[in-house]
Structure 1
Amino acid sequence: MTTTPSPDFDRPVRLHPLTYLEEGEEVTVGRADIDSYGLFPPDGAELLRRLEAGTPPNAAARWYTEQYGEQLDMAEFLEVLEELELVVRDGEQVAAPTGPVRWQRLGAAVFSPAAWAVYGVLVAAALVAMVRQPDLAPHYQNLFFTHSSLVLLTLGIVLGQVPWILLHEAAHALAGRRLGLNSTLSINRRFYYVVFVTALDGLVAVPRRKRYLPMLAGMITDVLVISALTLGAAVLPDGSGATGVLRRLLLSMAFAVVLRLVWQFYFFLRTDLYYLAITVLGCNDLQTTARQMLRNRLMRLLRMPGRVVDESGWGERDRQVARWYSWLMPAGYVFLTVTLLTAAIPTGIRLTEVAVHKLGTDFSPANVADVLTFLVLNFWEPVLAAYLALRAWRRGRTKAPATTAKETAHAAG
Structure 2
Amino acid sequence: MDLAALDLDKSLRLYPLTFLEEGEEVTVGRPDIDSYGLFPVDAAALLRRLEAGDSPNEAARWFGEEYGEQVDILEFLEVLDEYEMLVPEGEQVAEAKAVRWQRLGTALFSPPAWVLYALLIGAGIAAMVLDRHVAPRYQNIFFTSSSLVALTLGNVIGQAPWILLHEGAHAVAGRRLGLNSTLRIGRRFYYLVFVTSLDGLVAVPRRKRYLPMLAGILVDLLVACALTLAAIPLVRQPGAAGLIGRLFLAMAFGTLMRFAWQFYFFLRTDLYFLATTVLGCNDLQTVARQTLQNRFWSLLGRRERLVDPEGWTPRDRSVARWYVWLMVAGYTLMTALLVIAVIPTAVRITELAVHKLVADPTPLNVTDTCVFLVLNFGELAIAGVLAIRGWQRRGGRATRAAVAEEIAG
Over 3 Å counting, the alpha-carbon distance change for 1:246 and 1:5 in structure 2 is closer
Report deviation, 1:91.
3.4
Report deviation, 1:247.
0.8
The CA distance in 1 between the partners of 2:223 and 2:357, in whole Å, is: 36
Cα shift readout 1:195-252 (whole Å, capped 9, x = no counterpart): 0001111111111000000000000000000000000001214244111111110000
Over 3 Å counting, the alpha-carbon distance change for 1:377 and 1:6 in structure 2 is closer
Residue 405 of structure 2 is matched in structure 1 by none
Q: 1:1-40 alignment to 2 at 5 Å?
A: 8-40=7-39
The CA distance in 1 between the partners of 2:230 and 2:377, in whole Å, is: 30
The one-letter code matched in structure 1 to 2:31 is A
Select which of 358, 370, 391 maps to 1:360: 358
Residue 45 of structure 1 is matched in structure 2 by 44
The one-letter code matched in structure 1 to 2:230 is G
SS in 2 for 1:22: strand
The one-letter code matched in structure 2 to 1:252 is A
The one-letter code matched in structure 1 to 2:30 is R
Q: Unaligned regions of 5+ residues in structure 1, if any?
A: 404-413
The CA distance in 2 between the partners of 1:272 and 1:227, in whole Å, is: 20
SS in 1 for 2:254: helix
Cα shift readout 1:324-362 (whole Å, capped 9, x = no counterpart): 112211111111000100000000000000000000101
Report deviation, 1:59.
2.3
The CA distance in 2 between the partners of 1:292 and 1:75, in whole Å, is: 32
Report deviation, 1:156.
0.3
The CA distance in 1 between the partners of 2:151 and 2:319, in whole Å, is: 44
The CA distance in 1 between the partners of 2:93 and 2:294, in whole Å, is: 43
The CA distance in 2 between the partners of 1:402 and 1:179, in whole Å, is: 39
Verify the 8 A CA contact 1:292 1:309 in the aligned structure 2: yes
2:140 matches 1:142:
yes
Cα shift readout 1:252-302 (whole Å, capped 9, x = no counterpart): 000000111111111111110011011000111111111111111112221
The CA distance in 2 between the partners of 1:95 and 1:16, in whole Å, is: 9
The CA distance in 2 between the partners of 1:352 and 1:324, in whole Å, is: 41
Q: 1:5-404 alignment to 2 at 5 Å?
A: 8-96=7-95, 98-400=96-398
The CA distance in 1 between the partners of 2:400 and 2:66, in whole Å, is: 32
Report deviation, 1:69.
2.2
Verify the 8 A CA contact 1:5 1:58 in the aligned structure 2: no
Report deviation, 1:99.
4.8
TM-score using structure 1 length: 0.93
SS in 2 for 1:254: helix
Report deviation, 1:71.
2.5
TM-score using structure 2 length: 0.94
The CA distance in 1 between the partners of 2:400 and 2:314, in whole Å, is: 21
The CA distance in 2 between the partners of 1:158 and 1:5, in whole Å, is: 57
Verify the 8 A CA contact 1:33 1:95 in the aligned structure 2: no
Over 3 Å counting, the alpha-carbon distance change for 1:194 and 1:80 in structure 2 is same
Verify the 8 A CA contact 1:17 1:95 in the aligned structure 2: no
Name which of structure 1's ranges 292-301 and 68-77 shifts more when overlaid on structure 2.
68-77
The CA distance in 2 between the partners of 1:351 and 1:256, in whole Å, is: 19
Verify the 8 A CA contact 2:263 2:271 in the aligned structure 1: yes
SS in 2 for 1:148: coil
Report deviation, 1:90.
2.8
The CA distance in 1 between the partners of 2:27 and 2:87, in whole Å, is: 19
Name which of structure 1's ranges 379-388 and 131-140 shifts more when overlaid on structure 2.
131-140
SS in 2 for 1:135: helix
Report deviation, 1:78.
1.0
The CA distance in 1 between the partners of 2:200 and 2:217, in whole Å, is: 20
The CA distance in 2 between the partners of 1:76 and 1:402, in whole Å, is: 24
SS in 2 for 1:9: coil
Over 3 Å counting, the alpha-carbon distance change for 1:93 and 1:6 in structure 2 is closer
Verify the 8 A CA contact 1:123 1:227 in the aligned structure 2: yes
Report deviation, 1:7.
6.6
The CA distance in 1 between the partners of 2:183 and 2:82, in whole Å, is: 24
Over 3 Å counting, the alpha-carbon distance change for 1:401 and 1:201 in structure 2 is farther
Name which of structure 1's ranges 57-66 and 227-236 shifts more when overlaid on structure 2.
57-66
Name which of structure 1's ranges 254-263 and 230-239 shifts more when overlaid on structure 2.
230-239
The one-letter code matched in structure 1 to 2:350 is T
SS in 2 for 1:55: coil
Which one scores higher on RCO, CA 8 angstroms, separation ≥ 6? 1
Q: Unaligned regions of 5+ residues in structure 2, if any?
A: 402-409
The one-letter code matched in structure 1 to 2:28 is V
Report deviation, 1:94.
2.1
Verify the 8 A CA contact 1:16 1:95 in the aligned structure 2: no
The CA distance in 2 between the partners of 1:56 and 1:49, in whole Å, is: 11
Cα shift readout 1:114-142 (whole Å, capped 9, x = no counterpart): 01111111111112222331121110000
User: How much is the aligned-residue C-alpha RMSD, in angstroms?
Assistant: 1.7
The CA distance in 1 between the partners of 2:61 and 2:325, in whole Å, is: 46
The one-letter code matched in structure 1 to 2:281 is C
Verify the 8 A CA contact 1:19 1:29 in the aligned structure 2: yes
Cα shift readout 1:362-385 (whole Å, capped 9, x = no counterpart): 111110000000000000111000
The one-letter code matched in structure 2 to 1:358 is K
SS in 2 for 1:146: coil
Q: Number of matched residues?
A: 399
The CA distance in 2 between the partners of 1:239 and 1:151, in whole Å, is: 23
Give % identity. 64
The one-letter code matched in structure 2 to 1:356 is V
